Amino acid sequence: MKINSKIKLGLINFTNCLPLNYTLEKWQLENIELVYGTPAQLNQLMHEGKIHAAPVSSIEYLKNKNKYKLIETACISSDGECRSVILFSQKEMKQIKKIALPNDSASSIAMLKIIMKDHDITYNEHNYNNISPDNDAVLFIGDNALIRNNTGESCFSYDLGKLWKDLNGYPAVFGTWVKQKDDFEELDNLIPQAIETGLGLYFNEVLEFASVNLKLPKEIIEDYLTSKIKYNFTERHKKSLEKFEELYNNNFSNHNNICNLRL
């Protein structure tokens, strides 16, 4: 992709991305154009070459490593419980037979299917509205999960961040920062600097904005952004991606239709 002037930078409008998003909106950098979308939408925009860089679902990166360059200075992950990728159920895990999957996700669905690979599960799709009561469980991600996780609507809630670490001992890397094959070296430093600023200089404003937007106490938002979600990219995160790729290839490599597999 050739750049005429601005770098088109994809952003996800989730609270776990707010420290970065809020900072970039404050800075108003002349050479950066911000493009918002869901994880699934940004996956598609990157795949079509319509944006230069974005936080894409980690499974999207793993399936397109020859197409993208990984930015190894930031990611979206949890080292255990994350509180925003949750399987809600009225049944215990071993009794679940039918699961509704969200239409705005990729990595979390792949992770869930790997976790549940030894269970006889039927999957269908939902958009967070009018979810069929015939389902035994429903997967929520992002702010939708964060809100529901604090309402106590379901008898059981299974945190995929914890389930993933229990499975293989590594952090759950839900999102990776990638760029098109063009260089864009400035993004390697810009992204972690913006996240750090959002968690520092602008953190009180970030907390206020998120608390009002989600109608949740600031204490919950603060714990979520500082204790649950992790933004650094380390050797353990790299190993986790390698394990994710291995498990995906071992279980789903024959599924070429992304819609049928819902990844």
The answer to whether the CB of 6 falls within 8 A of the CB of 42 is no
Mean pLDDT throughout 35-64? 93
Mean pLDDT value across the chain = 91
Record the tokens describing residue 209, joined without a space: 């904005």
Q: What is the pLDDT of residue 91?
A: 93
* CATH 3.40.50.10490 applies to domain 7-78+172-252: no
- From CA 136, how far away is CA 123, in angstroms rounded? 10
How deeply is 122 buried, as exposed, middle or buried, from its count of CB atoms within 10 A (0-12, 13-18, 19+)? exposed
Q: What is the pLDDT of residue 254?
A: 61
The domain made up of 85-170 has a fold known as: D-Maltodextrin-Binding Protein; domain 2 (3.40.190)
CATH 3.40.190.10 maps onto the chain at 7-78+172-252, 85-170
- Helix residue ranges, H only, the chain: 18-27, 39-47, 58-63, 107-115, 142-148, 160-168, 186-198, 203-214, 218-223, 235-252, 258-261
As beta bridge partners, residue 7 has: 32
247-262 pLDDT, tens per residue? 999 988 665 433 334 3
Q: What is the pLDDT of residue 175?
A: 95
The single-letter code of the amino acid at 16 is: N
Q: What is the pLDDT of residue 256?
A: 44
Record the tokens describing residue 137, joined without a space: 């469980």
